A = this chain, B = another copy of it.
Amino acid sequence: MKNTFVLINGLPGNVAATMARAVVSDPRFQLIPVSLTGPDIREPSFQVGEIPVTLIKPDDRKTAVSKIRQQFSDFIAIDYTHPSAVNDNARFYVQHHIPFVMGTTGGDRNALESDVSRGNIPAVIAPNMAKQIVGFQAMMAFAADQFPNLFAGYSLEIKESHQQEKADTSGTAKAMVGYFNRLGVDFKPEQIQQIRDPEVQQTQWHIPEQYLSGHGWHTYTLTAPDGTAVFEFKHNINGRQIYVEGTLDAVLFLQKQMTAPMGSKRLFTMMDVLHPQGES
């Protein structure tokens, strides 16, 4: 099987850089030495291992993409740019027939989805690229649908720890509150306990020091009214490896979509990537 050519946009940003290093060291992929970047980036290029990647500002992207097309024919874009660029980038990919994985959060998500649906290229759009977390959320959605009030009367505690810089509450934790509510648990998103103090993270949560600057730990604890039954679910992620792997799985999924007979569906999520048959 030939390598999949990948265009990673958003360099020199941290997540894009992590993705680029992962692509370079993964024999299934080949990194295109170009990256679409923002208007304020000063560096002309960014070094990924031994590969110098040319950074292209918005004004020059059309020309750059035609050259890439001539040289690489088929390729897939990974977007880890900036919330302010999400919608414009997506329209650009659709217009230039570039299948893409949108890992960037924010922007106008409804516009994003309708732009992709109206186009003729497949895209995976996912605010959370961690396959296993998405799978666990699907398990919770299944339980909420099938067994409403299974945990009626139970009390819930949700604690989440992230790097000190993260100001808002975990979006994953907030989504989980909805499932727990449908399972009969009385709980408001405001009751989620945010842990942001590195000392607490290190001494009480035992989060390794190297990940204090980048982690997402979540604990959900359900306790029966009389205290005799406790159910607890945890997902503790250090660093970005799980998101890198999920993003690359999404790229391979798009690659398959391109070679398979094209259905009418353009807009995919990580749920589609999880399903081996690509059902939704």
Contact = CB atoms under 8 A, between A and B. Distances in A.
Interface of A: 130-132, 135-136, 138-140, 142-143, 146-151, 211, 222, 224, 226-239, 241-242, 274-276
Contact of A143 (B139, B241, B242): B139
Given A142-B139, A142-B142, A242-B224, A150 B229 contact: no
B132 A151 contact: yes
A90 B230 CA distance: 33
A231 B175 CA distance: 17
B147 A231 contact: no
A197 B238 CA distance: 34
Nearest to A219: B232
A11 to B, nearest CB: 23
A143 B150 contact: no
Given A135-B150, A139-B143, A143-B139, A234 B242 contact: no
Given A146-B138, A146-B274, A274-B146, A234 B236 contact: no
Given A136-B231, A232-B234, 14 more contacts: A132-B229, A138-B143, A139-B139, A142-B142, A146-B274, A147-B274, A224-B241, A226-B241, A229-B235, A229-B236, A229-B238, A229-B241, A232-B233, A232-B235
Contact of A147 (B138, B148, B227): B138
A224 B243 CA distance: 12
A237 B242 contact: no
A229 B217 CA distance: 9
Which are the 3 A-B pairs with shortest beta-carbon distances?
A232-B234, A139-B139, A228-B238
A212 B224 CA distance: 19
Contacts of A274: 146-147, 150
A150 to B, nearest CB: 5
A10 B136 CA distance: 40
A275 to B, nearest CB: 7
A216 to B, nearest CB: 10
